[in-house]
Amino acid sequence: MGIEKGKEVVRIEADAIRALEERIDQRFQRAVDILLHCQGRVIVTGMGKSGIVAKKIASTLNSTGTAAFFLHPAEGVHGDLGAVLKEDVVICISKSGNTEEILRLIPLFKRQGVPIIALTGNLESNLARQSDVLLDVSVKEEACSYDIVPTASTTAALVMGDALALALFKERGLSIEDFAIYHPGGDIGRRLLLQVDDVMHRGKEIPRVQENTLLPDVILEITTKRLGCTCVMGSNGRLLGIITDGDLRRLIEKRHDIWDLRAGDIMTQDPKCIKTGILAAKALLLMEKHSITQLVVLNAEEEPVGIVHLHDILKAGLA
């Protein structure tokens, strides 16, 4: 019984979200344009469960580069409305569109000339009629057995808010580095701020051999530096190739007369490399894509200045 009801809830809420896609139209674009040209902050307000959704939307806007805060509608009419300035934009969330606390704020917003974007499920409501932009977040049914408890409707409002925030993020042309500014801590901060320069081995730690270095000395360099590889360098200081301990194992399996071989005979040419200043998370994705455990780090002159190893990235907490 519980499993069946759980599946029904997921299905109802998924249907509610799918229905939103067709409503991403010119009204949605107008809302994005208003928010994009906002000279102040975005005030998000809602009562009860809509208020909880409003807090999440305000948080998402902040984290994607749009200054926002949550205004409790009941507190708004008792002094907090002073935080709303004429340069701001208001997003009002109400399933019925007739929430008393929200409607008491509307004339005050209008008096200041603040644009109102409404997220409501009642397109004939007072909120819908008085808003500058109406975004339809109505649902066919709530997931509650009695079609009363806000479930699918709050999910729809939340998703519409996410759509606005990320459309704004896209319109602003912000990069992942810009996003990182708002997330300096925790796992997101590590992923968005940690660069290969922060975890790579450099200087004397970099294993290096010349193209004509004999195999025994190649093995010694790989073993001594303990990074599972060595760079093969040309006389001009440029990287010619790389030899990994995996290359050595495969070489031994294929032939026995190996000791007269030189680095240039067994190296992998054009190895996978990454530039300085690149995010460590991108290095991790590159390693996973090509099933390798180390990358040579090159500077702007294409010279090897470091080695980044999978273990160092994992140790930094990126996986």
pTM for the whole structure: 0.66
| Cα–Cα distance for residue pair 66/233, rounded to 1 Å | 48
| Cα–Cα distance for residue pair 136/128, rounded to 1 Å | 9
- Four-CA torsion 264, 270, 271, 273, nearest 10 degrees: 130
pLDDT digits (tens, 9 = 90+) for 213-250: 999 999 999 999 999 999 999 988 889 999 999 999 99
- Tell me if 2-174 shares its fold with 196-315: no
The dihedral through the CA atoms of 94, 96, 98, 99 has a sign that is negative
Residue carrying structure tokens 């519409």: 160
Compute the average pLDDT of residues 20-47.
96
What residue ranges do the domains of the chain occupy?
A: 2-174, 196-315
CATH classification code of 2-174: 3.40.50.10490
- State the alpha helices, DSSP H only, in 21-151: 26-36, 49-63, 73-76, 100-112, 126-130
Compute the average pLDDT of residues 301-305.
91
pLDDT digits (tens, 9 = 90+) for 20-29: 999 999 999 9
> CB of 209 within 8 A of CB of 232?
yes
Please give the order of strands across the beta sheet that includes 116-120.
Answer: 68-71, 42-46, 89-94, 116-120, 133-136
pLDDT digits (tens, 9 = 90+) for 59-115: 999 888 899 999 999 988 777 788 899 999 999 999 999 999 999 999 999 999 999
Nearest to 276 by CA among 295, 254, 250: 295
> CB of 44 within 8 A of CB of 58?
yes
Pairing mode of beta strands 304-309, 294-298: antiparallel
| CATH superfamily assigned to domain 196-315 | CBS-domain (3.10.580.10)
